[in-house]
Amino acid sequence: MEVDVISLFEPESGAPELALVRAVLESSQWSDGPMIESFERAFAGWIGRKHAVAVASGTLGTWIALRALGIGPGDEVICTSHTWHQVAQAITLAGATPVFADINYWTGSLSPEKAALKITHKTRAILAGNTNGHPAAWAQLRWLADAHGLKLIEDSTEALGSRYQGNNVGTFGDVSVFDFSAPSALCTGEGGMLVTDDDTLVHELRYLRKRRVADRASVSIGSRVPLQAGMSELTAALGFAQLAGLDDRLVARRQVVTWYHEQMQSFEGVKPPYIGEHVDEVHWMLYVVHLGKRFSGSTRAQMIDDLLSCGIETAPYSHPLHQQFYYMNKSEAIGHKRGGLIDTERIGDRALALPLHTLLDEAHVQYIVKTLKDTATNVGAGAAIY
């Protein structure tokens, strides 16, 4: 079977995206216009929250959220080191201290029990995510945050459409963060969204997002200096069009996941993807497999190279933050030493992301899984998944 390189992710676009982007290009307003407002209203309605604030990225959005909640130098924020997007780095940008807690091994999301062990008198917030689309244990995390008077920030940069206890992800945090860069199912190249039900907080989020033309003559603006972190009308037009087709796109992606499940059944030792308690629906960001204990980070890297030589793009699911150079050399980053986050390191060394997008058909998936099996054998480690 001849194949071109099968990309890890390929965005889908069509006539609606072209029409809305063209409409903005032909207008005289490329920023701070009606397309942003339309996208915000539509996204808030789709998620099920009162307010949405469009931002330039998930990282910048989280930074804005932390500032709006009054979190900065001297404060601690409990978070996970296991993530695709580097949203937790916003804690460092805000001047606060990231406190890395371990994950639930099965869901990959922040463990409420392990997060509880990290709470001190300096803790101001918990930042937890829906890892690869799987909802975190939001009932327990909400109880933990409320019991200790902490803010709960939901990182939904890897999740769209997943549901927990009857509600969409993005509805559980005091403020929740989405990111629309690849490989999001709603892809605008760059960009993100903050959502909240707090009528007071949303005004601060909008204020800190960017300096408005109306504020140029204000002498009080310097008391809380805003960022230049807004979304353009062009990006909003693309996002608005992508949102209109998102439900159909999620259905198509689910079919690809079904093909993966069917092909993986013949893979020695494979288990179905874990679905946690109270989780109604999971829409995976990528199809992630966990390599067996006989694999290491170096053998995974060899597999990635071998798969690419066969025309398949894959990637490590994450490079845990506490193992990255910046945090390894920052003594104030709590939990930064290797060996302290056992399950994070166990998954981080052996999680392999496979392509997942709507341009894949059943033959592509068959080829990917067959090549994965062959590659696992070639590196000499036997069965790849446990």
Share of the chain above pLDDT 90, in %: 73
| Residue 273: cis peptide before it, omega within 30 degrees of 0 | no
| Strand, coil or helix: 173 | coil
Statement to judge: residues 333 and 227 lie in one domain: no
Q: pTM for the whole thing? A: 0.93
Give the count of domains, the chain. Answer: 2
Sign for the pseudo-dihedral over CA of 169, 203, 127, 172:
negative
Residue ranges making up the domain that contains 182: 15-244
pLDDT at 331: 57
- 2 occurs within a structural domain: no
- 383 occurs within a structural domain: no
CB atoms within 10 A of CB 374: 12
- 289 occurs within a structural domain: yes
pLDDT at 30: 92
Q: Are 135 and 104 in contact (CB under 8 A)?
A: no
- 89 occurs within a structural domain: yes
Write down which residue in 244, 278, 307 finishes a domain.
244
Share of the chain above pLDDT 70, in %: 90
pLDDT at 327: 83
Best mean pLDDT range from 183-192, 213-222, 337-346: 183-192
pLDDT at 1: 45
Write down which residue in 244, 272, 306 finishes a domain.
244
Statement to judge: residues 113 and 213 lie in one domain: yes
Q: Encode pLDDT of 77-97 as tens digits.
A: 999 999 876 788 899 999 999
Write down which residue in 204, 227, 244 finishes a domain.
244
Q: Pinpoint the alpha helices (H) of the chain.
A: 15-25, 34-47, 58-68, 89-93, 112-116, 138-147, 199-209, 233-244, 246-264, 297-309, 325-328, 342-348, 362-378
Statement to judge: residues 131 and 229 lie in one domain: yes
Statement to judge: residues 233 and 348 lie in one domain: no
- For the chain, how far is it from start to end, CA to CA, in angstroms? 28
- 8 occurs within a structural domain: no
Statement to judge: residues 113 and 250 lie in one domain: no
Statement to judge: residues 217 and 303 lie in one domain: no
- 135 occurs within a structural domain: yes
Statement to judge: residues 369 and 256 lie in one domain: yes
**Residue 287 sits in a domain of what CATH number?**
3.90.1150.10
Statement to judge: residues 127 and 218 lie in one domain: yes
List the structure tokens of 362: 């059943």
Residue from 291, 323, 321 nearest 304 by CA: 291
